[in-house]
Structure 1
Amino acid sequence: MGITEQYYHEWKTSSKKTTTMTTAPAKLYGKNLSEYDDLDVDQLLSQLSPEEISILAKEVDPDDNLLPPSERCSYECNKEATGPLNRKKLIEHINKQALETPDLPELKPYVAGTIRGKKWIAPETNGKTEHEDKIAIDIDDEYGDALDGASQEEIIDLAAILGFHSMMNQDQYHASLLNKGQPVGLGWDGVTKATQPKVYPPEPPNQTDPEDSIKRVRDDDPKLLDLNWNNIKNISDEKFENLFIALVENTHLETLSLVNVGLTDRLAGKLAEALEKNCTLRVCNVETNFITPIGIVHLIKSLLKQRSLEEFRATNQRSQVLGNKIEMEITKLIEQNPTILRLGLHLEYNDARHRIASHLQHNIDRIRQSRVGANSA
């Protein structure tokens, strides 16, 4: 008899003995569990033969995810490999077996129109739920009398004032805020109907002539304070370059809007060079273009030299996320700018948003204090 069979026999005999005694301590192979604490498992395994080890391995599932499933399960396939795996032939064989295998016969054949089993019938509720939760609220007599005598419209208005949005629908809430009176048929049990959206006429296309505006910027027209090229399509790079060259010598233009005109990094670099030398521009808007985060940093860095721009907007570019490194660099540049008051840029990190907002507020407070001091003097 092998060691494993001997242990198994001792365990069976000990288990039979211990099942009759409910107060006896737990035992394994006729010994208390505490006696196995100092047992050398490696020494016991070294005494087993390869056959006994294979038998023991089938009864034990090692909790090791690094072992392949074929070595963890007790099933062993002794067949030799017939060749490399051919997935296509395997799928064809499985499909063939599935088609050739007959379906299991039904116990009862299907008959159209025949209802089997019991039909579910909803219980009669008489319009009332079985469990109605009632909430008792202690209200003063004065408030209780006022609420008892209040109409439904007055209660809806009170709920809107107190901010109980879940107690009313959208039409009731807006009617209460605008003091319009409640719509007919929209009480507590009313259903809000979809309102037709208002049709607004499309915005007319931008009629600004790029050639004429470039000429006016080059001639430093004192009446040209706001230049808007928003949404003008197919503006050539040559026209942009001519505009930026003319912007260098201009002393009257205050607002430059270049939204959705297809600006790239190369043109943004030309604009940055113009912003470094222009001293009258106060607002620059380059939203909805194809400027990369590096190009935005270049534009913001150019504002440190001229220090006259108060508002800069550059959201909705091709790259929506700037990244932590770019946002920190933009934050450092903004903190060095004493004139910027508004920045239109989407920042993802709270640290950058907080530091930029604090600096912009500091600039606004400083300009306000200087204005108040000049008026008082």
Structure 2
Amino acid sequence: MSVMRKEMEKYRDIDEDELLKKLSEEELQRLEDELDELDPDNALLPAGMRQKDQTKKAPTGTFQRDNLLAHLEKQAKEHPDREDLVPFTGEKRGGSLLSLSRRFRVMFAEKLDSGELEEALASASDAELCDIAGKTPSLDMNFWISSTQYKPVPDEEPNSTDVEETLRRLKRNDPDLVEVNLNNIRNIPIPVLKEYAEALMENSVVERFSIVGTRSNDHVALAEMLKVNTTLKSLNVESNFITGTGILSLIESLQKNTTLLELKIDNQSQPLGNKVEMEIASMLEKNTTLLKFGYHFTQQGPRLRGSNAMMNNNDLGGLDTHTHTHTHTHTHNTAQMQCCVLNKLSLYHVKSPSLTLIPFHQQSSCIS
């Protein structure tokens, strides 16, 4: 048996109650103080529970506020004030400005013209002007600022589009229905939005479709519609509940769509994330027909890649329009113009009106 165990065996059969009975009152108080579990660093506990009770005096009685205030006031009057380290002699330093301020009061009371007032103010120093401003509270300075009553701006009127009637016109391919605007109509069921997407697959008239703030989600199959539709030029799905998967499928469908010129997908309920933004930038670089893309990238890399892709598409779009107009009449001039426009891209140059691209280092051969 070890020595420690032998020492502990002595205390096994000790009666604690007998030991406590033998302790005096002072020893019991000391034992109680040692056993108190206090937390002085816990600011949430009252002060009495953060430290030991050190008050040994008996209570003097109930608290009486009026008597306490009277005692404190009496004690303050009986206690002599501390003498100043530097005695006050009553000496006044600096010039007195009472006469100057009184003169200005008289001048304002007589309502002098602007010339005399300006001359008087010009002759006063900065200190005198400050003193005048502080000692003439009766001067009304409200004439310096005039309030303007602004006209109340009325709230924007709710969207008055008839959802059911517009859907019927869309299905029958109404030639007068060029734009469909369902913005901020929040009570449109998801099945109705699906019917709009299905109707756009066969519609050949509508060029602009906007469903901003309609609680649309991934189940609205707009991506499948874009793969088939050849008339739509502008699509706006901002401020909805479309996830990153739905956005990627929407942009991926542009590989089979060459007529859509504008796409807005910003301000969705969930952030798309860095991975989705990188994939969006890669898809935009592969597209050559989209001219406007509405989305605020959170990362600088995808933002620069997306903006460069849109800039290239706009430059190429303007070049195609110019070539289509002047190919038959100005063949030689068109080739030179194509070279100049593509020179901005610093990548390729046009060799002939058929838009055959050649590397940048061969630019001298295309201008003759």
Q: Could you say which TM-score interval applies, normalised by the shorter chain?
A: 0.5 to 0.7
Is 2:299 the partner of 1:349? yes
Instruction: Describe the SS at the equivalent of 1:266.
Output: coil
Report the identity percentage. 32
Aligned residue number for residue 263 of structure 2: 312
Q: Name the aligned partner's letter for residue 247 of structure 2.
A: I
Task: Return closer, same or farther for 1:374/1:241 CA change in 2, 3 Å cut-off.
Answer: same
Cα deviation for residue 279 of structure 1 reads 1.0
Could you tell me which runs of 5 or more consecutive residues in structure 1 were left unpaired when the two chains were aligned.
Answer: 1-78, 103-107, 128-189
Is 2:214 the partner of 1:272? no
- Across the aligned residues of Structure 1 and Structure 2, the Cα RMSD in angstroms comes to 4.0
| Partner Cα distance (1:84, 1:113) in 2 | 40
Alignment of 1:43-192 (within 5 A): 91=45, 94=49, 97=52, 100=55
Q: Is the 8 A contact 2:227 2:257 kept in 1?
A: yes
Is 2:272 the partner of 1:322? yes
Task: Return closer, same or farther for 1:246/1:111 CA change in 2, 3 Å cut-off.
Answer: farther
Q: Name the aligned partner's letter for residue 240 of structure 2.
A: N
| Partner Cα distance (2:326, 2:161) in 1 | 43
| Partner Cα distance (1:229, 1:264) in 2 | 15
Aligned residue number for residue 152 of structure 1: none
| Partner Cα distance (1:204, 1:264) in 2 | 25
| Partner Cα distance (2:295, 2:75) in 1 | 67
Cα deviation for residue 272 of structure 1 reads 1.2
TM-score (norm 2): 0.53
Is 2:181 the partner of 1:228? yes
Is 2:159 the partner of 1:206? yes
| Partner Cα distance (1:126, 1:299) in 2 | 82
Q: Name the aligned partner's letter for residue 304 of structure 2.
A: H
| Partner Cα distance (2:197, 2:73) in 1 | 82
Aligned residue number for residue 182 of structure 1: none
Q: Is the 8 A contact 2:274 2:299 kept in 1?
A: yes
Cα deviation for residue 83 of structure 1 reads 7.8
Task: Return closer, same or farther for 1:94/1:222 CA change in 2, 3 Å cut-off.
Answer: same
Larger Rg: 2
Q: Name the aligned partner's letter for residue 265 of structure 1.
A: D
Task: Return closer, same or farther for 1:234/1:116 CA change in 2, 3 Å cut-off.
Answer: farther
Task: Return closer, same or farther for 1:125/1:219 CA change in 2, 3 Å cut-off.
Answer: farther
Is 2:205 the partner of 1:255? no
Q: Is the 8 A contact 1:322 1:347 kept in 2?
A: no
Q: How many residues align?
A: 225
Q: Name the aligned partner's letter for residue 213 of structure 2.
A: N
Cα deviation for residue 87 of structure 1 reads 6.6
The ranges of structure 1 where at least 4 consecutive aligned residues each deviate by more than 3 angstroms after the TM superposition are: 82-88, 90-93, 95-102, 108-118, 123-127, 190-198
Instruction: Describe the SS at the equivalent of 2:293.
Output: strand
| Partner Cα distance (1:223, 1:288) in 2 | 28
Aligned residue number for residue 283 of structure 2: 333
| Partner Cα distance (2:51, 2:35) in 1 | 21
Task: Return closer, same or farther for 1:298/1:194 CA change in 2, 3 Å cut-off.
Answer: farther
Aligned residue number for residue 363 of structure 1: 313
Cα deviation for residue 248 of structure 1 reads 0.5
Q: Name the aligned partner's letter for residue 281 of structure 1.
A: L
Instruction: Describe the SS at the equivalent of 2:197.
Output: helix
Instruction: Describe the SS at the equivalent of 2:256.
Output: helix
Task: Return closer, same or farther for 1:372/1:233 CA change in 2, 3 Å cut-off.
Answer: same
Instruction: Describe the SS at the equivalent of 1:214.
Output: helix
Task: Return closer, same or farther for 1:339/1:99 CA change in 2, 3 Å cut-off.
Answer: farther
| Partner Cα distance (2:231, 2:51) in 1 | 82
Cα deviation for residue 98 of structure 1 reads 6.5
1:104-128 deviations in Å (ceiling 9; x for gaps) = xxxx95679989888xxxx98999x
| Partner Cα distance (2:245, 2:95) in 1 | 68
1:151-175 deviations in Å (ceiling 9; x for gaps) = xxxxxxxxxxxxxxxxxxxxxxxxx
| Partner Cα distance (1:242, 1:306) in 2 | 20
1:25-48 deviations in Å (ceiling 9; x for gaps) = xxxxxxxxxxxxxxxxxxxxxxxx
Cα deviation for residue 314 of structure 1 reads 1.2
Instruction: Describe the SS at the equivalent of 1:227.
Output: strand
Cα deviation for residue 335 of structure 1 reads 0.7
| Partner Cα distance (1:203, 1:328) in 2 | 37
Instruction: Describe the SS at the equivalent of 1:306.
Output: coil
Aligned residue number for residue 295 of structure 1: 246
TM-score (norm 1): 0.51
| Partner Cα distance (2:298, 2:96) in 1 | 56
Aligned residue number for residue 44 of structure 1: none
Q: Name the aligned partner's letter for residue 306 of structure 1.
A: N
Task: Return closer, same or farther for 1:86/1:206 CA change in 2, 3 Å cut-off.
Answer: same
| Partner Cα distance (2:196, 2:180) in 1 | 11
Task: Return closer, same or farther for 1:242/1:101 CA change in 2, 3 Å cut-off.
Answer: farther
Aligned residue number for residue 196 of structure 2: 243
| Partner Cα distance (2:52, 2:36) in 1 | 21
Task: Return closer, same or farther for 1:278/1:95 CA change in 2, 3 Å cut-off.
Answer: same
Q: Name the aligned partner's letter for residue 288 of structure 2.
A: P
